[in-house]
Amino acid sequence: MYRTPRFSPACRILLFAPRDTLRSYTDRMPSYRVTLTIGDLRVGVHPDRVVAIIGGPASALTVLEGTNLNVVAGQARITIRFTADDDDHAAFVAREVIQAATAIADVRTAFVTRRAENTWSDVDVPHPVVADSAVPLVLRHGYTAAQMRAAELPHHEAGDPLMARAAAGLAVVIRDVVAGRRGGGLDGSAVVLVGPGNNGADALWAAAELSGDGVSVTAIPAAGAKGIDAGSRAAAVSAGVAFAALSEVAELAERSDVIVDGLFGIGAAGRASTALPADARDAVLAVLPALKSTRPPVVVAVDVPSGIDADSGEVPDADEDVHRPAILPADVTVTFGGMKAGLLRAPARRYAGQVVIVDIGLGEQLEALEPAIQLDPRR
């Protein structure tokens, strides 16, 4: 699947936009840089195209200041420098750049920094995890929860298996993440945080598939016994998924390869507050310390990270001046049918990581709707 890159001896590549063109922008906008270390390239990727491919999103979305590539001990270190309006804009551009890199190469490290007064400081941008067999669709159109329900309605009336399609797509992504951490095998472990309604049901149906494939899966209900979908729970139990109490989540998270956030989805969009209820919040706060370990689990969010408003992008439970933020920052968000508007809006988009859209058959219905948000491709 991979091959070692063979870069030419002249491997210091500098590509700069005309300085006169940039000056009027860069005088007013801060500079950022994305620095990546890559190893092997995907089969069929020509080394001479690497810089252009990885730098492409930055040049399309903002003002590209320059790119630099050095090869040391068989590893390529690439730096993309660009201007942006603010940290949110820079984070969005950086995720696109990192995603372009993961599509063509084995990305080993990635970080983003901001230039201020001749020093560089870190910018919080989650490292996306690539899912090889679930190709991310990077869409600029976002839809509200109400629009998504309207698009689903004729399919529900026709008896189409939308949930089965969603769960299958979710399982593909999680399976690939586990395999990536286990050298291609599925002998890893996943902890599934299960909420009420469709979000928790999607997570449990996917858990059943993963358990059948040999992944050790533990489900932790955070909605009470009556809040969990009975059909998906029965399928999970039949497939060998273990169920544990909320009190065990911290210990299990420390040992897991993947945390699946199936607590709450788009159902809370538009409410006065999308802050998590007490039991779900306790589950999230118990997991957060595991994300600071030397080998943290990968967080996969189901549809949207729990606690964000899928329409507005607001994150009411992330105000650190009031209390500890009860949001699991996702490495990957697996969203169903179409992009949710809130995933394209600040501050929620910084919690989404890489967004993978699973096609469940809503294309025709969504094409007939006016998106709630359409990102300017220049931003």
Instruction: Please check whether residue 379 lies inside any domain of the structure.
Output: no
Q: Are residues 58 and 185 in the same domain?
A: no
One domain for residues 199 and 305: yes
Please count the structural domains in the chain. Answer: 2
Question: Are residues 118 and 145 both part of a single domain?
Answer: no
149 lies in the same domain as 92: no
Helix, strand, coil percentages for the chain (3-state, nearest 5): 40, 25, 35
The answer on pLDDT for 283 being more than 80 is: yes
What's the pLDDT score for residue 8?
A: 31
Each residue's pLDDT tens digit, 287-297: 999 988 888 89
Does any domain span residue 129?
Answer: no
CATH number at residue 161: 3.40.50.10260
- Whether 146 and 117 share a structural domain: no
Name the most confidently modeled range: 56-60, 111-115, 147-151, 269-273: 147-151
Domain assignment of residue 132, yes or no: no
Whole-model pTM: value is 0.65
The full DSSP string for 27-50 is: TTS-EEEEEEEEEEEETT--GGGH
For residue 103, the domain's CATH number is 3.30.70.260
CA 351 to chain CA centroid, Å, is 8
**Residue 251 above 70 pLDDT?**
yes
Indicate if 195 and 315 belong to the same structural domain: yes
Place 69 in a pLDDT band, splitting at 50, 70 and 90. confident
Average pLDDT over residues 131-137: 31
**Is 336 within the bounds of a domain?**
yes
Are residue 97 and residue 161 in the same domain, yes or no? no
Query: 3-state class of 108 per DSSP?
Result: strand
**Which domain covers residue 153, as residue numbers?**
141-374
166 assigned to some structural domain: yes
- Asked, for residue 317, whether it belongs to a domain, the answer is yes
Q: Cα dist. 196→80, 247, 264, 281, 285 in Å?
A: 43, 18, 7, 14, 18
158 and 255 co-located in one domain: yes
Kindly state whether residue 136 falls inside one of the protein's structural domains: no
* Residue 41 pLDDT greater than 90, yes or no: no
Residue 146 reports pLDDT greater than 80? yes
Asked whether residue 357 is domain-assigned, the answer is yes
322 plus 254 within the same structural domain: yes
Average pLDDT over residues 12-16: 30
| One domain for residues 259 and 350 | yes
Same domain, 188 and 296: yes
The verdict on 99 and 165 lying in the same domain is no
